[in-house]
Structure 1
Amino acid sequence: MIKLDNLTKYYPSDLGNQYIFENVNFTIPEGCNVALLGSNGAGKSTLFRMLAGSEYPNKGRIVTDRSLSWPVALATGIHPQMTGRENTRFIGRVNGVADLEEYEEKVKQFAGLGIKYDLKVASYSSGMRSRLAFGCCIAIDFDVYLIDEATSVGDQKFRKKAKQALLDKSQSAQVIMVSHELDEIREFCDSAIILHQGELEFYDDLEEAIAKYKTL
Structure 2
Amino acid sequence: MIKLTGISKYYEVMGGRRAVLDNISLSISPGEHVGVLGRNGAGKSTLVRIIGGAEQPSSGQVERGMTVSWPLAFTGGFQPSLTGADNLRFICRIYDVDYAQRVAFVQDFSELGPYLYEPVGIYSSGMRARLAFAISMTIDFDCYLIDEVIAVGDESFRQKCRVELFEKRADKAMIVVSHSHRYLKGTCSRFLLLRDSKVEEYTDFDEAYMQYKMMLEGQDAAASATTTQ
Range with bigger deviation, 154-163 or 177-186? 154-163
What is the aligned partner in structure 1 of residue 155 from structure 2? 156
Other-structure match for 1:45: 45
Q: In the alignment, does 2:217 pair up with 1:202?
A: no
TM-score (norm 2): 0.87
**RMSD over aligned Cα, in angstroms?**
1.7
The one-character-per-residue Cα deviations of 1:23-71 (angstroms, maximum 9, x if unpaired) are: 3322234442110112222211111111121111111221111111111
Give per-residue Cα distances to partners, 1:133-171, cap 9 Å, x unaligned: 110012211111111111111223212211221212441
Unaligned runs of 5+ in 2: 216-229
Is 1:13 paired with 2:19?
no
1:120 alignment partner in structure 2:
119
Alignment of 1:174-189 (within 5 A): 174-189=173-188
Q: How many residues align?
A: 215
Decide whether the 8 Å contact of 2:84 with 2:117 is kept in 1: yes
2: CA distance between counterparts of 1:130 and 1:18? 30
For residue 212 of structure 1, report the CA deviation from its aligned partner: 2.2
The answer to whether the 8 Å contact 1:110/1:135 transfers is yes
Q: Which runs of 5+ in 1 are unaligned?
A: none
The AA in structure 1 aligned to 2:7 is L
Is residue 2:105 matched to residue 1:106? Answer: yes
Q: How far 1:125 sits from its partner (Å)?
A: 2.7
- What is the 5 A alignment of 1:86-97? 86-97=86-97
Partner Cα separation in structure 2 for residue 30 and residue 197 of structure 1: 28
- Asked if 1:173 is matched to 2:172, the reply is yes
Q: TM-score, length-normalised on structure 1?
A: 0.91
- Once residues 186 and 140 of structure 2 are traced to their aligned partners in structure 1, the CA distance between those partners, rounded to angstroms, is 21
- State the identity as a percent: 40
Distance 1:116 1:174, change over 3 A: same
